[in-house]
Amino acid sequence: MKRRNFIKTISAGSAFLITSHEKNPLSSVSSLESISVKQQNEVLKADVVIIGGGLGGVSSALALVRSGKQVILTEETDWLGGQLTQQGVPPDEHRWIEFAGSTKTYRDLRNRIRDYYRRNYPLVDGVRDNLLLNPGNASVSHFCHEPRVALSVILEMLAPYIGSGKLTVLYHHKALKSSVKGDRVESVTVKNEQTGNLKTLTAPYFIDATELGDLLPLTGTEYVTGTESKKDTGELHAPSESDPENVQAFTMCFAMDYIPAENHTIQRPDDYTFWKNYTPQMKQPWAGKLLDLHYSNPRTLEPKELCFSPSDSDCGNVFNLWSYRRIANKDNFAQGFYKSDITIVNYPQNDYFLGNLIGVSERKFNQYVESAKQLSLSLLYWLQTEAPRPDGGKGWQGLRLRNDILGTEDGLAKYPYIRESRRVKSLFTIKEEHVGKENRALVATDNKDRAAFFPDSVGTGYYPIDLHPTTGKDNYIDFDSLRFQIPLGALLPIKMKNLIPANKNIGTTHITNGCYRLHPVEWNIGESAGLLLSFAMENYCTPHDVRENQALLHRFQDLLHKQGVETEWLSDEELNK
């Protein structure tokens, strides 16, 4: 009797269930027959349910709980922070990040991480007092640090709200199905991947902050994947034909250090022979084998020489992969505190583009992830045994896989670094003509050297349009963008009224995803999404109303400004002071 009552309740009012099977998303109620009575009755309620604990999910949650809202946040792994932590990707940022082009809370996060080092690490004189402390002194960014430190700071920021009961965090939970009525999501059912237990989460509003836009198919929200054609978007760099399966590579990152007097060579990976001999067959020329110290220059696609050495002085003017994403420079700390620098391996050589993770079965997903792990381990083994050294020798047997840095037994990241997601079909789609420097110059009638102005802006950001090799055999696409805004219209689905994207799943194209996918922009998107829902609830309106009603929009933007969210860039003069 209890089972029948439960099924009747959630299917009442012509609501329907949607499962994770994208080709046939509508699920019958009979799919619940295998669920235990105990699992069926576990229902949690909140003002907002956030699925996905990456940077967008964390910043959404912070914005909402600080506004007094009750929030449930789910995460598939046991680490919050997404690309900054569980995926092992040091921040990719622009040169103005210390004072412009991000939200105040994102800069607070960065400064809290610096303070964490000052409080807990034996920094040397001169480093401790440096306002722009950069623990790793890496070349990819002005601020690189250990993932665990970022995790500690994120947990510290969330701790008061978890303690007060305002925020519930569900680790190891993945969205399984949803209940939808008309243009509204009524509930999302999540599964504990460790125990198999289910929870049904209900709320007036839902945020999709997953890495792959998982709630979009689960809720019947319209979305696109892959590359749009030039006919679809009119973009300068779009291909002639669209391909929904053509997405950027993902990467299984790992951390390593170097102990020259020791041999830490790993067991030869099962797929090493394949990867050692693999030469990418791309539409555009590729510079030789994948496992080698060269790659295609992202701007020109000409072969670009690389160097690898734990000593920067060995490489001269040639780009050194070792210091590229270094998260700990031992010289910043007391002598002997670190045996070695520590670096993250997210190189051209371990981008995995032989499989698309979007919309595949769990079995296929795991297969691709395992293959990507084999590629990363093969790269490590090649560096340990065969990589050419500047002194003419081969291999660095002292390279040590640091599984403790990313908190896993195999030493690889907890989750793939995802560069491209499903993208919601939104009220407004950001195209290359809005933010691409060359395309903008062709279409703009004035201010050709500025990105398009969005009157509904809810944030700012900057990064070049940087697309990694794709599953459709496209080589790098990398070109200049302009300092841009984040339009509210790109966060609003055309159909669904209570679901907001807050990751790489906003209304961009394949091309413009390349500059809207990095750390500070994702944080800004999430924070603005959280503040939007808080504003909508407090003003008894919908998120769509906020964009459509100028008075509401201006009031919302005033709220953003008070919370430290920039909606316009400073002038060139102010930025260059």
Per-domain boundaries in the chain: 2-219, 226-247+429-492+515-575, 251-406
Give residue 17's pLDDT.
53
| pLDDT confidence tier of residue 447, bands split at 50, 70 and 90 | confident
Bin 72: left if φ > 0, else alpha if -120 < ψ < 50, else beta: beta
Note the pLDDT of residue 229.
98
C-alpha pair distances (Å), 234 with each of 360, 433, 453, 455, 509: 29, 8, 19, 22, 11
pLDDT at 35: 45
Give residue 369's pLDDT: 98
pLDDT, one tens digit per residue, over 62-87 is: 999 999 999 999 999 999 999 999 99
Whether the CB-CB separation of 185 and 499 falls below 8 Å is answered with: yes
Look at residue 10 in the predicted model and tell me its pLDDT.
31
Q: Return the axis-axis angle of helices 104-120 and 55-66, rounded to nearest 10°.
A: 100
Report helix, strand or coil for 108: helix
Quote the CA–CA distance of 377 and 326 in Å, as a whole number: 18
User: What is the average per-residue pLDDT within 408-437?
Assistant: 97
Centre a 10 Å sphere on the Cβ of residue 12 and count the other Cβ atoms it contains.
11
C-alpha to C-alpha distance for 292 and 311, rounded to whole angstroms:
19
Name the pLDDT band for 4 (thresholds 50, 70, 90).
Answer: very low
pLDDT at 20 over 80: no
**Residue 179 and residue 187: Cα distance in Å, rounded?**
5
Provide, rounded to the nearest whole percent, the portion of the chain with pLDDT above 70.
93
pLDDT tens column, 190-214: 999 999 999 999 999 999 999 999 9
Residue partners of 274: CB distance under 8 A and separation at least 6: 378
Per the CB < 8 A criterion, the answer to whether 382 and 246 are in contact is: no
**Mean pLDDT for all residues in the chain:** 93
Burial class (CB within 10 angstroms; exposed 0-12, middle 13-18, buried 19+) of 125: exposed
Strand intervals (E) in 42-172: 43-45, 48-51, 71-75, 167-171
Q: 6: pLDDT confidence band, cut at 50, 70 and 90? A: very low
Helical (H) or strand (E) element with 327: strand 326-328
Rg (CA), the chain: 24
First to last CA, the chain: 72
Q: Long-range contacts made by residues 357-363, C-beta under 8 angstroms, separation at least 24? A: 357/212, 357/250, 357/416, 357/418, 358/212, 358/213, 358/225, 358/247, 358/420, 358/421, 358/422, 359/22, 359/217, 359/225, 359/422
Q: How far is 296 from 306, CA to CA, in rounded Å?
A: 10
Predicted confidence at residue 124, as pLDDT, reads 97
pLDDT, residue 134, reads 96
In the structure, what pLDDT confidence band is assigned to residue 22 with cuts at 50, 70 and 90?
low
Q: Which of 569, 559, 560, 554 is nearest to 458 (CA)?
A: 560
Q: Kindly tell me if the per-residue pLDDT of 34 is higher than 90.
A: no
Backbone angles phi, psi at 402, to 5 degrees: -100, 85
Helix (H) or strand (E) holding 199: strand 198-202
Question: For position 18, what pLDDT does the model report?
Answer: 55
pLDDT at 41: 56
Distance (Å, rounded) from C-alpha 184 to C-alpha 15? 10
Give me the pLDDT at residue 40, please. Answer: 52
Confidence tier at 32 by pLDDT (50, 70, 90): very low
Mean of pLDDT values over 483-499: 98
Backbone φ, ψ for residue 81 (5° rounding): 115, -10
2-219 under CATH 3.50.50.60, yes or no: yes
Parallel/antiparallel/unpaired status of strands 167-171 and 71-75: parallel
For 314-338, b where at least 16 C-beta lie within 10 A, e where not — what string? ebeeeebbbbbbbbbbbebbeeeeb
Instruction: Please name every residue paired with 168 in a beta bridge, in sequence order, or none if there are none.
Output: 72
Q: What's the pLDDT score for residue 446?
A: 87
The whole-number pLDDT of residue 180 equals 97
The mean-pLDDT minimum among 14-28, 138-152, 520-534 falls in 14-28
Q: Structure tokens of 456? A: 């509904």
The pTM (predicted TM-score) of the whole model is 0.93
Strand partners, 200: 43, 189
Mean pLDDT calculated for residue range 511-540: 98
Q: Name which of 111, 121, 122 is nearest 156 in CA terms.
A: 111
